[in-house]
Structure 1
Amino acid sequence: MDELAPSRRRLLIGALAGGIGAAAGCLGTSDDGDGGDGDGAELRLSLSRIEGSLRDRHVRDRDDPPEGWDEAALDAALAGESYATQGRKPFFASPDDPKYVAHEGTYYQLGSVVVDEVAETYPVLRLFAVDGDDVESAVDGGEDGSLPEADQRAVRIAHFAARARGNAGGYQAGLVQRGGYAYRTETARAESALLADDGPDHVSYRDTTYRVEIERERFHETVYRPTAEALAESPERMEAILRATFVGARVGSDDLSAEARRIVEGADAEEYSETHPYSEAYVELLRAIDARPYIDGNVRKDAGVRENQKEMIRYGDEYYERYLRISGEADD
């Protein structure tokens, strides 16, 4: 990415060293508080303040784990004992979404490793809409119906797949499997009325009647061993680790000119935008928050730059979610 032209660089340095006059003159004003009057790409900046520490945001206490975590896996990982989960990660952790827990004064990063694979056969429920809604044998598959909770969940998820067939829309990944709902747990299979030999052939859900289809299918499932790696013994050390993991640019308010600080205030309150070519104050701020590629009005053609980007930054003593969005036409 090319730097600013020399004349523009000199203007920026002059604004930083000698005051805000040049920057204020370039920034301009409008009814909505946005600066710039060019006809190129419009770059919108919004800042969302994060309350509290990163520990508050990312670390869970051992006695208050998220509902989806496997608590037996958590106990085993913290105690260094052998344990395995099948078909799902015990803490849903990934390199892009690490999980942390505090236990007896120590902070741990949770994860898992793949240790095996097993094959299992599960019944899969698929639903197919039928013409008309007057099928007498149809049972209510909703919350007010008589089906067990396991079947109500199965119908709701299979309905997502049935609704999406032939439509441009989709469904939530991870819930629908093989075009329907897989009864993976022994409890769900034992409770199910739809899986019984004399189970209903049709269900109704959200004003639609569906034909019930049950097929037993083979699944190959990953086996995971939960892990817990001790990271820190103090809140301060853990906060530093989280900053290094999640926070990008660090900007002191005294590092910015008055006009650049005004842009921060506008982006924090609502949103700030300018059309390329951007004002010197906006360029100054984009450099400070490590968004240099966006200074180029032809940013859409630059490899590796997304039109919408979200990142955490630190401004002064506060954390912010920084969101950049491009709209309008790019310069040639």
Structure 2
Amino acid sequence: MDELTSSRRRLLAGAVAGGIGVVAGCLGTDSDDPSDDGGAELGLSLSRVDGSLRDRYVRDSDDPAEEWDEAALNAALAGEEYTTQYRKPFFAGVDDPAYVRRDGTHYRLGSVVVDEVAETYPVLRLFEVDGDSDPNSTDGGGESAVDADEGEKLPDADQRAVQIAHFAARARGNVGGYPVGLVQRGGYAYRDGTARTESALLRDDGPERVVYRDNTYRVEVERERFHEAVYRPTAEPVAERPERMEAILRARLVGPRIGSDELSAEADRILRRAATDEYAETYPYSDAYVELLRALDARPYIDGNVRKDGGGVETGEEMIRHDEEYYERYLRILDEGDD
């Protein structure tokens, strides 16, 4: 506890400038009242990662991820010229690469921006029709609304477009949001040429209204200009041996490494308990819990007011290694009413 005591002394020394609120912060409470003896309840849970990191993060070139552009993968591995537009070919970047194995060599996949293009796409937006959710009712032009919940009424591309535009329509005027990666400019952009050709909603004589999830929406389509990046896929060899690939992933993804022989018996018991069920204590924490939190490099939870000073630390998530096993570590402050 000497290190914790020293930490408290440093914080108390700083309280001359910051006032008594600093003292409350070092206690880990959510109150500026120094008479408040209540402390934060901190929960720890561990989720075991089955197998090696290679099993989880490295794909075989004969079994690429569904979202990959397979032609881009082949071109990058062969050193051939190839580009993709708008979407990264492997949904990977410098800080979040993808990995693939071919003929015993492990490659780090990514992309670089090599150009920009401008394209015009139709954008579908939906607007609620107040007080009218009857799919058989008509608009001023006499058109009946198409029921998008019935699969045979619209092409597949239109059904997806309605679903995504519905998210934006539902969010208008409400607190909350919608999936930004899908919704664009308040609706759905028809980027795929086949989808545009087959669409019923984009035709000049297309339906003026659609019904989706018991809501009737007015259909609005506008053609808008988009500026898109052009990507060249990259594939860099990084490892021949599986052990080296594992080390690369471990260096990138794994934080603290903890051996059972490095912990006291009680701290090790808490760690193993957290691997089967969430473990929690209320501040001031036991010596064993503080020891484990330090081993997990979770010092913000014991050396400061995590509610006020820790930013996003309350949902702390990290991968750790305990002995020879990997775990995803979750730390959270338990408020009243949490299970």
Quick check: TM above 0.5? yes
Give the TM-score category using the shorter length. Answer: 0.7 to 0.9
* Alignment-derived partner of residue 33 in structure 1: none
Give unpaired runs (5+ residues) of structure 2.
9-36
Which one of 176, 183, 188 corresponds to residue 176 of structure 1?
A: 183
* Alignment-derived partner of residue 101 in structure 2: 102
Is 1:283 matched up with 2:282? no
Distance in 2 (CA, whole Å) between partners of 1:228 and 1:244 is 20
Distance in 2 (CA, whole Å) between partners of 1:7 and 1:309 is 22
Indicate conservation of the 8 Å contact 1:101/1:110, yes or no.
yes
* Alignment-derived partner of residue 72 in structure 1: 71
Which one of 189, 197, 203 corresponds to residue 196 of structure 1?
A: 203
- TM superposition shift of 1:320: 0.3
SS of equivalent to 1:102: strand
Residue 329 of structure 2 aligns with an amino acid whose one-letter code is: R
Residue 265 of structure 2 aligns with an amino acid whose one-letter code is: A
Q: Deviations over 1:102-142 (max 9, x none)?
A: 11101111101011111000001111111312235111212
Q: Deviations over 1:236-290 (max 9, x none)?
A: 1100000000000001111111101110121111111111111111111111122
Q: Deviations over 1:34-92 (max 9, x none)?
A: xxxx7311111111111100001111111111111111111111111111111111111
* Alignment-derived partner of residue 243 in structure 2: 236
Indicate conservation of the 8 Å contact 1:46/1:323, yes or no.
yes
Give unpaired runs (5+ residues) of structure 1.
9-37
Residue 293 of structure 1 aligns with an amino acid whose one-letter code is: P
Distance in 2 (CA, whole Å) between partners of 1:113 and 1:189 is 29
SS of equivalent to 1:269: coil
Residue 90 of structure 1 aligns with an amino acid whose one-letter code is: P
Calculate the TM-score normalised by the size of structure 1: 0.86
Distance in 1 (CA, whole Å) between partners of 2:228 and 2:211 is 32
Distance in 2 (CA, whole Å) between partners of 1:216 and 1:316 is 58
Distance in 2 (CA, whole Å) between partners of 1:234 and 1:259 is 38
Indicate conservation of the 8 Å contact 1:276/1:297, yes or no.
no
SS of equivalent to 2:119: strand
Distance in 2 (CA, whole Å) between partners of 1:71 and 1:197 is 36
Distance in 1 (CA, whole Å) between partners of 2:129 and 2:85 is 36
Q: Deviations over 1:15-37 (max 9, x none)?
A: xxxxxxxxxxxxxxxxxxxxxxx
Residue 267 of structure 1 aligns with an amino acid whose one-letter code is: A
Distance in 1 (CA, whole Å) between partners of 2:166 and 2:116 is 30
Distance in 1 (CA, whole Å) between partners of 2:198 and 2:312 is 51
Residues 273 and 96 of structure 1: is their aligned pair in 2 closer, same or farther, counting only changes over 3 Å? farther
Distance in 2 (CA, whole Å) between partners of 1:301 and 1:96 is 29
- TM superposition shift of 1:321: 0.4
Residues 328 and 296 of structure 1: is their aligned pair in 2 closer, same or farther, counting only changes over 3 Å? farther
Is 1:46 matched up with 2:45? yes
Indicate conservation of the 8 Å contact 1:41/1:297, yes or no.
no
Which one of 178, 185, 194 corresponds to residue 192 of structure 2?
A: 185
Distance in 1 (CA, whole Å) between partners of 2:328 and 2:319 is 4
Is 1:295 matched up with 2:315? no
Is 1:61 matched up with 2:53? no
Matches within 5 A, 1:140-289: 140-289=147-296
Residues 58 and 153 of structure 1: is their aligned pair in 2 closer, same or farther, counting only changes over 3 Å? same
* Alignment-derived partner of residue 121 in structure 2: 122
Distance in 2 (CA, whole Å) between partners of 1:181 and 1:283 is 50
Residue 146 of structure 2 aligns with an amino acid whose one-letter code is: V
Distance in 1 (CA, whole Å) between partners of 2:264 and 2:326 is 20
Moved more, 135-144 or 267-276: 135-144
The share of aligned pairs that are identical, in percent, is 74
Distance in 1 (CA, whole Å) between partners of 2:321 and 2:119 is 48
Distance in 2 (CA, whole Å) between partners of 1:177 and 1:151 is 15
Calculate the TM-score normalised by the size of structure 2: 0.84
Residue 240 of structure 1 aligns with an amino acid whose one-letter code is: A
Indicate conservation of the 8 Å contact 2:300/2:310, yes or no.
no
Residues 198 and 247 of structure 1: is their aligned pair in 2 closer, same or farther, counting only changes over 3 Å? same
SS of equivalent to 2:151: coil
Residue 322 of structure 1 aligns with an amino acid whose one-letter code is: R
Task: Between the two structures, name the one with larger relative contact order (CA 8 Å, sep ≥ 6).
Answer: 1
User: RMSD across aligned C-alpha pairs, in angstroms?
Assistant: 2.0
Q: Which runs of 4+ in 1 moved over 6 A?
A: none
SS of equivalent to 2:316: strand
Residues 171 and 305 of structure 1: is their aligned pair in 2 closer, same or farther, counting only changes over 3 Å? closer
